[in-house]
Chains A and B, each alone.
Chain A
């Protein structure tokens, strides 16, 4: 059995490989294989899987890639993920990708879908517009048709029909994957010293580039190893990290928060892995099932409308309670409209429930971690002082 260090070392290799060698290898193994890229926050990967397509999560270029061309496409006041994603494209790092999905998260990613159409007229490009109406007969019906259109688009890529049975099978595969993702998260919540967040992060990042079955196996192996390994428990405070659902922080930022005395017991990285909160039924109409799961049992993030004002912030507050967190760190990318516009409301909801929080911004290539470490460290100290006083 592999130990956690070996597993994480492999995940880190995948993470650092901005040429997506593992995914390329998978594709090269069979000329009929296809790859479809997607951006945050959520796409129904079950449909790609049902068509034998590998879903490739594109989360920008990270801090190791120098952005040269990408900056010529964007003004200085636009976040970094689209410019590094363009850089990936124009430097041919995505030349093996047969299609790209741009989910409805913000205007920048939305417009990137049009740029992709202009840049790569031969690639299948879809702006994937999920409903903001959460009534089955309205938003649900619309979404079923959106899924159908996406399925037809994917069928165009693979040149054959995707059957309902194939989708049902893929739903089962992803149900299992989500169960394992949740198991890893639950394990970290319970014993965060045994599953450091930077390790969990890399483990989830592997799921962006690997076939889902391999990713599930990897998580299974990690859990088995982590449970049996003994790591020292520190007197850290327990925090939830919020606002990093699109452009990703550098790995060092996650490490810095932990080093400053915080256990991250929940986060919103790569929400696609656990966007659906319950298993999707594997009988009946699979598109209706995926739609209903989205409408009725999906997570919450700033890109999603909350119909009832009374529910705004509840998801986060419940997470704080469920995970026994002691505070929230809002860590949003600079110029991120969803996260930054949402923050005052979320902060207000936390204040009303006496949950402490701090905020800072980052970019995927932020290099200077000392200020973040100091801020997070002070926050952790303050929480510890409060809890001792109480």
Chain B
């Protein structure tokens, strides 16, 4: 999500440096919390209530991001195996096992210092069942307070008044009082409004960034690059002026790239020729992220839209913005609208729309072994999208942070066949069904 500080040899733009500074500073704050006395809340990317957390002067620690960081540093494999030795099943989410394995090793942050024990587990149960168990497991280990926010699933593809009221009531009567108790800071709704105002500003530029991929050539890669772009808005920075600044800088850089007709920046420099425009569903693989990305840019494939950049909030599809005039309702709508909290028909509609608006040549699913929230039903989604758009689709399988489930030769072969299929379709042939 925010791995800007990992790939040292990536050509750095100002926005990358800015994000790297932000991330480093946040890890410094987190790891020095025992000395500074600042309280720490752990929470998840989907349903992340950063604006609210900041109202209590608390820091936001996201275990998924830590697992990603450890995945990209090639450390997650050993952590997962340690967790399995401790009795965690080989069948379950590898984010959870990487996190638990990391705890067993002293919970070392990317800056090399130990992470503090959280003062509060903010269990925002949004779009992923595993979240519920994950924080029960952490609670079992840490023995710290837990605030549960149950976000109902959009089973019928709509947010009902009952769902919104339920979330707001939980915020008012359960979550906020718990934050007040843990932090010792009284809730100030005007402070929340101010944070939400900041969020909305950043969200405007963020959406502009995502939609810049409608240009030909696309100035961004909305998957491999996208995971960097979502960093601030999905993590500990939404609602901050830092996030506003970051997206302003990023937007400026992309405007320049559009003006000069440039493609996306890859780890090996600017992508020269855009041959294939893809929409991608599912999270990326983190343990071989660079290798995975290379398989695309070497072939001239650019991802113009991805569903993963909506997992921490959907801002482009139906125009949601955090609303300072309706602060708690707005937080509820944000949580309810996260991508994996939407039902499968909605997800198919979103992909179909992206295929059309971004003039994609094809649809690719990276199916993640660990993540049933994303993965269950994806084969059917693929067929639906293929039928509706008439564009070729393909399916590859990897994992989030377990290196045992990334098979480079298989993935590369599948992708190469897929690109040939797109060529064949363009040449007027009738490609066989999904690769």
List the interface of chain A (C-beta within 8 A of B): 72-75, 77-78, 82, 102, 104, 106-108, 110-115, 117-119, 126-129, 131-133, 135, 137-139, 141-142, 145-146, 149, 302-303, 305-307, 309, 312, 334-338, 340-345, 347-348, 361
Does B156 lie within 8 Å of A127, measured CB to CB?
Answer: yes
Q: Which of B59-67, B343-351, B419-427 lies on the face that meets chain A?
A: B343-351
**Bound complex: CA A321 to CA B317 (Å):** 54
CB proximity of A112 to chain B, nearest CB, Å: 7
Check if B379 is an interface residue, CB within 8 A of chain A. yes
Q: Is A113 in contact with B166, judged by CB distance below 8 angstroms? A: no
Q: With A107-B129, A132-B125, A340-B89 as given contacts, are A115 and B377 in contact (CB-CB < 8 Å)?
A: yes
Closest approach, in angstroms, between the C-beta of B282 and any C-beta of chain A? 11
Provide the bound-state CA to CA distance between A114 and B373, in Å.
12
Give the nearest-CB partner of B377 in chain A: A111
CB neighbours of A112 from chain B (8 A): 376-377
> What residues of chain B have their CB less than 8 Å away from a CB belonging to chain A?
86-89, 91-93, 96, 125, 128-130, 132-134, 136-137, 139-140, 143, 146, 148, 150, 152-153, 155-156, 160, 162-163, 165-166, 169-170, 173-174, 343-348, 367, 369, 372-373, 375-380, 384, 397
CA distance A343 to B92 in the complex (A): 11
Q: In the complex, which of the residues A111, A139, A149, A303 contacts B376, with contact meaning CB atoms closer than 8 Å?
A: A111
**B372 in contact with A337 (CB, 8 Å):** yes
Q: List 8 A-B contacts (CB under 8 A).
A: A74-B376, A110-B153, A110-B376, A111-B373, A132-B148, A138-B170, A142-B163, A309-B143
Contact (Cβ within 8 A) B377 A141: no
Q: Which residue of B lies closest to A133 (CB)?
A: B150
| Cβ contact of B128, chosen from A107, A119, A138, A347, cutoff 8 A | A107
Inter-chain contact B169/A141, CB cutoff 8 Å: yes
Asked if A113 and B132 make an inter-chain contact with CB atoms under 8 angstroms apart, the answer reads no
Contacts of A342 in B (CB 8 A): 133, 136
Are B155 and A118 in contact, with the CB atoms below 8 A?
no
Which of B87, B166, B397 lies in contact with A347, CB distance below 8 A? B87
Residues of A within 8 A of B173 (CB): 135, 137-138
For the complex, what is the distance from the CA of A340 to the CA of B139, rounded to whole Å?
Answer: 17
Task: Please provide the 8 A-B residue pairs with the shortest distance between their CB atoms, ordered closest to farther.
Answer: A114-B344, A127-B155, A341-B133, A142-B166, A132-B150, A340-B89, A145-B162, A111-B377
Contact A345–B136 (Cβ < 8 Å): yes
Query: Is there contact, CB below 8 Å, between B137 and A345?
Result: yes
Write out the residue numbers on chain A whose beta carbons fall within 8 Å of the beta carbon of B347: 114
**Taking A129-B152, A129-B155 as contacts, is the C-beta distance between A341 and B130 under 8 angstroms?**
yes
Q: Which residues of A contact B133 (CB under 8 A)?
A: 302, 337-338, 341-342
A243 CB to nearest chain B CB (Å): 11
* Residues from chain A with Cβ under 8 Å of B346 in the complex: 114
Which of A108, A337, A345 makes the CB contact (< 8 A) with B92?
Answer: A337
Closest to A117 in B: B345
Looking at chain A's contact residues, is the secondary structure mostly helix, strand, loop, or mixed? helix
Bound CA span A146–B153, Å: 12
Taking a contact as CB atoms under 8 Å apart, the answer to whether B379 and A307 are in contact is: no
Assess A338 versus B129: contact at CB under 8 Å? Given A74-B379, A117-B345, A344-B86: yes
Given contacts A106-B129, A337-B133, contact A309 B139 (CB under 8 A): yes
Assess whether A131 is in contact with B150, with CB atoms less than 8 Å apart: yes
> Taking each of B91, B137, B163, B169, which has the highest tally of chain A beta carbons within 10 Å of its own beta carbon?
B91
CB pair A78–B384 under 8 Å, yes or no, is no
Complex Cα distance, B340 from A54, in Å, reads: 32
- Bound Cα distance from A306 to B376, whole angstroms: 26
B148 neighbours in A (Cβ, 8 Å): 132-133, 305, 307
> Which residues of B lie under 8 Å from residue A303 when comparing CB positions?
129
**Judging by beta carbons under 8 Å apart, are A138 and B129 in contact?**
no
CB distance from B136 to the nearest CB of A (A): 6
Query: Is A341 touching B376 in the complex (CB atoms < 8 A)?
Result: no
Bound CA–CA A307/B347 (angstroms): 31
What residue in chain B is nearest A339 (Cβ atoms)? B89
Which B residues are in CB contact (< 8 Å) with A114? 155, 343-347, 377
Q: Are B92 and A341 in contact, with the CB atoms below 8 A?
A: yes
Chain B residues within 8 Å of A334, by CB = 91
CB of B372 within 8 A of CB of A142, answer: no
**Bound complex: CA A374 to CA B145 (Å):** 42
Flag if A111 contacts B130 (CB, 8 Å): no
Q: 10 other contacts beyond A114-B343, A137-B169, A341-B133, with CB at 8 A cut-off?
A: A104-B153, A111-B372, A126-B156, A137-B173, A138-B169, A142-B152, A142-B162, A341-B89, A341-B96, A361-B91
Contact of B375 among A75, A127, A141 (CB under 8 A): A75
A305's contact among B136, B170, B378, by CB below 8 Å, is which? B136
Q: Known contacts being A114-B344, A338-B133, is A309 close to B140, with CB within 8 Å?
A: yes
A117 proximity list for chain B (CB < 8 A): 343-345
Distance, CA A335 to CA B139, complexed state (A): 23
> Cα distance A306–B133 when bound, in Å?
10
Give the complex CA separation of A142 and B166 in angstroms.
6
Question: What are the residues of chain B within 8 A of A137 when measuring CB–CB?
Answer: 169, 173
**Residue numbers in B under 8 Å from A108 (CB-CB):** 372, 376
CB distance from A37 to the nearest CB of B (A): 16
Is A118 a contact partner of B137 (Cβ separation < 8 A)? no
Chain B hits for A115, CB < 8 A: 344, 377, 380
Shortest Cβ distance from B125 into A: residue: A132
A313 nearest CB across to chain B (Å): 9
What residues of chain A lie closer than 8 Å to B146, measured between beta carbons?
307, 309
Query: Please, which residue of chain B has its CB at the minimum distance from the CB of A119?
Result: B380
With a cutoff of 8 Å between Cβ atoms, the chain B residues found around residue A305 in the complex are 125, 132, 136, 148, 150
Contact (A133, B376) CB under 8 Å given A114-B343, A114-B345, A345-B136: no
B372 to chain A, nearest CB (A): 4
A337 touches B130 (CB 8 A): yes
